[in-house]
Amino acid sequence: MRMPHLPESYAGKGGQVMNHFMILAVLLPLGTCYTSYSQQESVVFPVTYLNISKDLDLQRLLVEWDVVKSAHDAELAMSFEIQVRRTDEATTVWTEFHNVTLDKLRKPLHWTWDSDIPLECMSHAVRIRSKAEASKIWSKWSLWETVPGLDNSNRSGPQIFPKEKFLAEGSDITLCCIGGKGQTIKEFSVYPTVDVLKHTNSQVRLLTVENLSHDKGSNIHFYCYDENGQLHQAAFFVGKPPDTPKDFSCHTQDMKRVTCTWREAETYLYGRNSPRYTLSKTSSPKIALCKASCSKQCSCSWDIGHQRIWNVTVTVENPLGKKTATHVFDVNHRMYPTAPFQVWEDCTDTEITLHWNYENSGIELFCQTEVLQPDGKVELHNSSVADSRRVTVRGLQPYTEYRARVRCGAAEHFWRWSEWSQPLTARTKEGTPSGKLDIWREITPVLGGRTVTLFWKQTPSFQANGKIISYEVTWKKIEDGSKPESISFSSVYNSTRIFIDNHSYRISIMAKNNVNFSLPSVLIISRATNNSTEELKEGQVNGTDDGIFISWEPRSIYDSYIIDWCNFPRLQPCDLQWKRFAPNTSSAVISSGESQTNILSDCAAVLQAMVAFVPGVRYKFCIYGSIANRASLLEKKIGYLRELPPRLDPIVRKVDLNYNSVTLSWDSYLTNESEPGFVRGYHVYVSPVQGNCNLKGSKKHILSDESELCKYTIENPEEKRYTVKHLMPNTKYKIVVKAFTGGGETPITDFRYIDTPCNSNILYFVFLVVIVPTLVAAICHWKMKWVKECCCPAIPSPNKSKVLSFKEFKIDSEKVMKINDCLPDVLATDSDAEVQKLRPVTWSSLSSISSEDKIDGHNSSWIYPSENVVRDFPPTPTHQTHTCFENFAYSSPLEAESDPYHIPETLEAGRTNQAVMLYQPQCYLDIFHEDAASTAREIAERKNSLRYISQTDIRCLGERL
């Protein structure tokens, strides 16, 4: 078809029109979009349809709604706000925003909500509002759409919701109980008791149980009572959803039938609620291949026919869930043979050959043998040839029991070993004994020779290689070629006694089984000598936690050392034991339980193994050096596993008492073998019966009753005497002497009581201080007048004397006694002229005094001249008058040292010279007359020459002067 040709002018106009058309085509959609967007911002699209339903099995609300057609046509992106409310609650219990883009198909919109409480408990209401996502304006809320609960229904009694169901462990659940119409709930409880949260109104009660557990039982029961006492109850099962089957695998044992196994997980749901298993082809899950059975593990078997590749699925489900596991396998690679059977053996002394049978499955098998050694070690031996049904085990010990068992697996495409066959116990045959017996001897000198007791035992290096039936003992004199003697003993014996003379002997012992003798064990007995072994000093050894430690001085000449001892040193026989040591050994810890067990009966072997050193028992050890089977005694040791306190206290035989010490003497303490320890010394305990002890040189010792004792330690066990010093006189003490060992001493129970005597020195002192003065005082009291006259003569009282009865003569207001007023007892003058001058005054005065006025009986008429007295007065131009007074109260030292006056004839004849010497008439210068002295100095010197003498200084001579 040919197009008509247009003029150019027309063509230009057409192009312009086309351009305008294209512009309009672009602007028109934009305008539409703008108009639509403007409408979305200002126009709302309210909900036009709302419907609510509920799924009680899932406890879920199903909400369906729609909006106006224009929103679908515009395919708007909408937002919806959805609120849920319960009838008994004023507030909204759930708010959620739901975004969706509408389509032109006008399909209604859907939303679901899972309730946290049963929907039967109360009514639920839903409302929705909407807005375009581009808009800020929400539509009005729709009306509340309500799904009624059962709280408003007509019921005759209470009901619990939800109904019976299964609960997963660890989950939470809320239940409600609704009362009958017009009825209120009185009680809503659960058993077993668990922690619950309760919410209550007048007719409906809610009960929430959190974190459910099966610990208190897999069943939980709820009980609800209304005010009329009507009851409704519900039971719930707590468990776990099933887990994916573990260790799921399949195998065949005969290439005809396949068995799949897996492990069952605990769900805590039992009976008809326990897990259910289904095994099926993965391609056909609804067709079960077999029915599973579960005990220790689950299994399911079916015939495989000619199919070799399988893909199977096991499904497990219970009321709380479902899980599956899938397994793909090739039957040829899943061969699991049956266990071998009919196992038997062929034995020699060192080999065992095992034989067995197994079911023929058409597949080559190779087998493995396990051999259990007597020491517990396990050896595995593999057969070297496929389908071989025997194996030989070599290198075994003669006459030894072994346990063996067999298992097999596929030689090609090995997957798993079969189960072990039943174990077989086999014993190798007997062989010649290997090694030597360990032998020892005890030599006892007797008249004419010696008695040798021989002992033997099997060592770890000795192998009987059979049953020992006898022991052969042979002895021969070494010095000559005499014929050897021998004797055989049953295997139940491990010692014998032979008599030999004083020559050297070679002794050998061999063990014999049903095959042959062992190598001989040789012992050389040296010639008897007079050297006594008693000269060896016994050293002391100490016990440890593991035994008794023994050391000795090594000698390079010996090739071994032997120590022997008795397990029961206080019994006969003492159960002699011995042990050998290498030549480079110089110490060992001996434990009686470690000694090699002799070949005795089983019961005796058990008793031997149970032997152990006992604390408090003294053991004696002899150390021998051996060279070329000839033993020599080197040292002796004695010791204890652990020392115990002494059984008895020392007996104190003598007690020597002093006022401040006590000496104790006791008998020698017995230190024989029966003692439970070595006596290390003694303790002496002292204490006063009343009060605590603090004696010098002692230590404090506190008893169990918290009383204190003084403790003295004597570290020399040979000491038998001790003196306790620093005691108090006349005090009662308790004292005891205790012996101590390395194990201490026995508790203090009994004391010896002593009383220290009084201190005689103190008695002497008391006698001198108290008794003598008392006696003197008594005598003085008895002779009071005589004592008073001798020791305390009467002193004239100046107040009673006539001396002071002179007329007053005062000089400067002081009384002055004139010589003329003084009536002396005696006057002495230097010259007769002076006497004549004084006589008219003094004598007349003396004569006028009556006898009763004389002072104390003194003769006042004694006046005599002192012609022989030498005076030391300086010469004066005037004549001096010297007057002497017979008075005991004054004495001049100068006059006392000069020759005494001669006694006048008027004195009594019985007066002694000594008394006359004491009675010294003293000179007194007449200082009251101015003509008596020339100067004042002389007067002062004369006054100073006078001295007062107390009358108490005059000794009494038994009569009055």
Residue 123: predicted pLDDT: 87
Q: Region 752-775: what's the mean pLDDT?
A: 77
Residue 182: predicted pLDDT: 75
Rounded to whole angstroms, the Cα distance separating 226 from 757 reads 101
Residue 170: predicted pLDDT: 85
Does residue 945 register a pLDDT over 70?
no
Rounded to whole angstroms, the Cα distance separating 455 from 510 reads 12
Does residue 885 register a pLDDT over 80?
no
Report the first-to-last Cα separation within the chain, whole angstroms: 212
> What pLDDT digit, counting tens, does each position of 715-725 carry?
998 899 999 99
Residue 429: predicted pLDDT: 93
Q: Report yes or no: 578 and 550 within 8 Å, Cβ to Cβ.
A: no
Band the pLDDT of 228: cuts 50, 70, 90. Answer: confident
Rounded to whole angstroms, the Cα distance separating 585 from 554 reads 7
3-state secondary structure 180-225: CCCCCEEEEEEECCCCEEEEECCCEEEEEECCCCCCCCCEEEEEEE
Output 536 or 833, whichever has higher pLDDT.
536
Does residue 28 register a pLDDT over 80?
no
Name every residue whose Cβ is closer than 8 Å to that of residue 324 and which is 6 or more positions away in sequence.
Answer: 244, 313, 314, 315, 316
Band the pLDDT of 913: cuts 50, 70, 90. Answer: very low
Name every residue whose Cβ is closer than 8 Å to that of residue 661 and which is 6 or more positions away in sequence.
Answer: 723, 724, 725, 726, 727
C-beta neighbour count of 777 within 10 angstroms? 10
Q: Report yes or no: 589 and 546 within 8 Å, Cβ to Cβ.
A: yes
Secondary structure (DSSP) of 714-725: E--TT--EEEE-
Task: State the average pLDDT for the chain.
Answer: 78
DSSP state of 769: I
Output 517 or 882, whichever has higher pLDDT.
517
Residue 674: predicted pLDDT: 84
CA nearest to 857, candidates 720, 960, 716: 960
Does residue 200 register a pLDDT over 90?
no
Q: Report yes or no: 14 and 6 within 8 Å, Cβ to Cβ.
A: yes
Residue 744: predicted pLDDT: 92
Tokens of 419: 């189960």
> What pLDDT digit, counting tens, does each position of 446-489 carry?
998 999 999 999 988 899 999 999 999 999 999 887 889 999 99
Q: Within 13 Å and on the Cβ side, how many CA atoms surround 248?
A: 22
Secondary structure (DSSP) of 474-521: EEEESSS-PPPEEEEEETT--EEEEEE-SS-EEEEEEEE-SS-BPPPE
Band the pLDDT of 266: cuts 50, 70, 90. Answer: confident
Band the pLDDT of 532: cuts 50, 70, 90. Answer: low
Residue 56: predicted pLDDT: 87
Residue 529: predicted pLDDT: 81
CA nearest to 802, candidates 851, 853, 842, 840: 853
Does residue 925 register a pLDDT over 60?
no
Residue 887: predicted pLDDT: 47
Output 202 or 365, whichever has higher pLDDT.
365
Residue 232: predicted pLDDT: 85
> What pLDDT digit, counting tens, does each position of 504-528 carry?
999 999 999 999 999 999 999 999 8
Give the rounded distance of the alpha carbon of 465 from its chain centre.
Answer: 52
Task: Starting at the earlier edge strand, list the strands of the sheet with 652-657.
Answer: 652-657, 662-666, 721-724
Band the pLDDT of 956: cuts 50, 70, 90. Answer: very low
Start-end of H helices in 548-618: 602-610
C-alpha angle 614-619-622 in degrees, rounded to nearest 5:
145
Q: Residue 164, exposed/middle/buried by CB under 10 A (0-12, 13-18, 19+)? A: exposed
Q: Residue 425, exposed/middle/buried by CB under 10 A (0-12, 13-18, 19+)? A: exposed
Q: Report yes or no: 67 and 130 within 8 Å, Cβ to Cβ.
A: yes
C-beta neighbour count of 944 within 10 angstroms? 8
- Tokens 């020597």 sit at which residue? 656
Q: Which helix or strand (DSSP H or E) is residue 626 part of? A: strand 618-627
Residue type, 354: L
Q: Region 745-771: what's the mean pLDDT?
A: 80
> What pLDDT digit, counting tens, does each position of 124-163 carry?
999 999 999 888 899 999 999 999 888 777 777 788 888 7
Give the rounded distance of the alpha carbon of 870 from its chain centre.
Answer: 109
Q: Region 400-426: what's the mean pLDDT?
A: 93
CA nearest to 710, candidates 781, 662, 670, 668: 662
Tokens of 78: 């909408």
Output 851 or 394, whichever has higher pLDDT.
394
Secondary structure (DSSP) of 390-451: EEEE-SPPTT-EEEEEEEEEESSS-----PPPPPEEEEPPP---BS--EEEEEEEEETTEEE
- Tokens 């010197």 sit at which residue? 941
- Tokens 């070690």 sit at which residue? 377
CA nearest to 677, candidates 588, 592, 739, 591: 739
C-beta neighbour count of 374 within 10 angstroms? 11
Does residue 845 register a pLDDT over 60?
no
Residue 456: predicted pLDDT: 95
Q: Whole-model pTM?
A: 0.51
C-alpha angle 251-257-259 in degrees, rounded to nearest 5:
40
- As a whole number of Å, the CA-based R_g of the chain is 70
Q: Region 316-336: what's the mean pLDDT?
A: 92
> What pLDDT digit, counting tens, does each position of 584-617 carry?
999 999 986 555 444 344 444 444 444 678 999 9
Q: Region 345-357: what's the mean pLDDT?
A: 92
> What pLDDT digit, counting tens, does each position of 770-822 carry?
777 888 888 887 777 777 777 777 666 555 555 555 555 555 555 555 555 55
* φ/ψ bin of 927: left (φ > 0), alpha (ψ from -120 to 50), beta (otherwise): alpha
Name every residue whose Cβ is closer than 8 Å to that of residue 98 and which is 6 or more positions away in sequence.
Answer: 79, 80, 81, 82, 109, 111
C-beta neighbour count of 646 within 10 angstroms? 23
Residue type, 773: P
Residue 682: predicted pLDDT: 93
Q: Report yes or no: 741 and 645 within 8 Å, Cβ to Cβ.
A: yes
Three-state DSSP class for residue 733: strand
CA nearest to 623, candidates 614, 613, 615, 632: 632
Q: Which helix or strand (DSSP H or E) is residue 36 part of? A: helix 8-42
